[in-house]
Structure 1
Amino acid sequence: MLTSLAAFVGAAFLIAMVPGPSTVVILRRAVVDGRRTGMAAVLGNECGVLLWGLAAAFGLSVLLLASQFAYDVIRITGAAVLVWMGARALWRARRVAGQAGEPAQTAPVSNRRAFWQGLVTNAANPKAGVFAVSFLPQFVPDGAPVLAMLLAFSVIWVVADLIWYLPLVALAGRVGGVLRRPSVRRRMEQISGAVLVGLGVRLAVDA
């Protein structure tokens, strides 16, 4: 049992360190709108992780493996969400104010909106569901209660993500004063927007 838990914890940390759409969204919110908003995005992302873990525990994610239609619906939805978020970032980068040609000062994203962005980005990624249903059961020891272990692994997965993301958000928030300068912010919006659009297109064409 302890060996399985230790192996899963190590694997969960490695998974958290792999950058993806959630990483882009979280760091963008932390840099552009501050540490609290970034943490709200983290909490939203972890709710998505927990939902996929619970779905795997109760067998719902198996539908993604058994039904190509269900997988495609979630895949296209997730791709549309990423492209939409990226397009909004690119549009914000184009907005200028005054003669200096700098981006206009727009209202900061609320913590609630950042939370939903984190949640939707994670929940609309079918690969996370496929990964959960194929990854978590591998660490269940022989003879152990499967449902209880999968639920425990889901919580551990969330905790590992939090341990990885919260220091990143804190660091991004600490240097955010420099990064939120108009010219730097415009560049950040351009980069994050292009990355989100690219990830969305990749998800859409990756059958």
Structure 2
Amino acid sequence: MYAYLAFLGVSAMVIATPGPDTAMTIRNTLLGGRAGGISTATGIALGQLIWALATSIGIVALLIASKPVFVAVKYAGAAYLVYLGVLALREALHPSAARAGAGVRHGERRLTPVRAFGQGLVSDLGNPKMAVFFASLLPQFVPAGDAPFSALLLRGCIFALMTFVWLVAYAVVVARVGDFLRRGAAGRILEGLTGAVLVALGLRLAAEQR
């Protein structure tokens, strides 16, 4: 029981710390409303489930041991974050041109749930730090005698569920004030800040040494 409580406490602290998942959820909620935010959270949670399964069957250990593959995943994930951040910055700096070119009226949702889901999934799978995190965190909370595969997978599922609940809460809150935030300067400023955060997170991911 103590191991479970310790795992839940550490997981809650990690999940509550703002990072790429939080920034992605906020961005996509602003662009796609509550449905966009929840879809993004679903994609992120699915990505974490995939990482958890990969950790349980040993694939993550192989990924971490293979430096070329690890670096390739890292750079691909970093490039994707920077790309989405640049898109958000473009929208903030030139909203009229971007929306007019897409045939979207001011304040209308510009991101479908399917695209939001895909962005959340790709963003999480493109972050090899999740692999390192799962490989280093989950085994610490597996009691001696438990089956490694099922124990690791169970804790990975719990972590993904906690992440989903936390990000959905973010999406609901942002969506409640979304109509106001999408108006005029307020929406442009927040979208620009979110874009800058995504770019910064992408550059930091690319520069980090494991």
- Provide Cα deviations, 1:74-97, integer angstroms capped at 9, x if missing partner: 111011101111111111122243
1:154 aligned residue (153, 156, 160): 156
- Provide Cα deviations, 1:41-61, integer angstroms capped at 9, x if missing partner: 000010111111111111111
Question: How many equivalent pairs are there?
Answer: 202
- Provide Cα deviations, 1:86-111, integer angstroms capped at 9, x if missing partner: 1111111222439xxxx973751000
Mapped contact 1:44–1:119 kept (Cα < 8 A):
yes
1:138 corresponding residue in structure 2:
140
- Provide Cα deviations, 1:175-201, integer angstroms capped at 9, x if missing partner: 112111132221122111111111111
- Measured in 2, the distance between the counterparts of 1:126 and 1:3 equals 29
- Measured in 2, the distance between the counterparts of 1:160 and 1:205 equals 29
- Measured in 2, the distance between the counterparts of 1:86 and 1:30 equals 14
Mapped contact 2:43–2:117 kept (Cα < 8 A):
yes
What TM-score does the superposition give when structure 2 sets the normalisation length?
Answer: 0.90
Mapped contact 1:64–1:130 kept (Cα < 8 A):
no
- Structure 2: 5+ residue runs without aligned partners? 98-103
Tell me how far 1:168 sits from its aligned partner: 1.7
1:19 corresponding residue in structure 2:
18
Moved more, 119-128 or 31-40: 31-40
- Provide Cα deviations, 1:14-68, integer angstroms capped at 9, x if missing partner: 1110111111010111133211110000000101111111111111111232111
- Measured in 2, the distance between the counterparts of 1:163 and 1:40 equals 12
The runs of at least 4 aligned residues of structure 1 exceeding 3 Å deviation read 103-107
- Measured in 2, the distance between the counterparts of 1:88 and 1:31 equals 13
- 1:82 matched to 2:81? The reply is yes
State, as a whole percentage, how many aligned pairs show the same letter. Answer: 36
Tell me how far 1:12 sits from its aligned partner: 1.5
- Measured in 2, the distance between the counterparts of 1:176 and 1:32 equals 9
- Structure 1: 5+ residue runs without aligned partners? none
Mapped contact 1:63–1:70 kept (Cα < 8 A):
no
After superposition, the Cα gap between the structure-2 partners of 1:137 and 1:96, relative to the gap in structure 1 and judged at 3 Å, is closer
What TM-score does the superposition give when structure 1 sets the normalisation length?
Answer: 0.92
2:179 corresponding residue in structure 1:
177
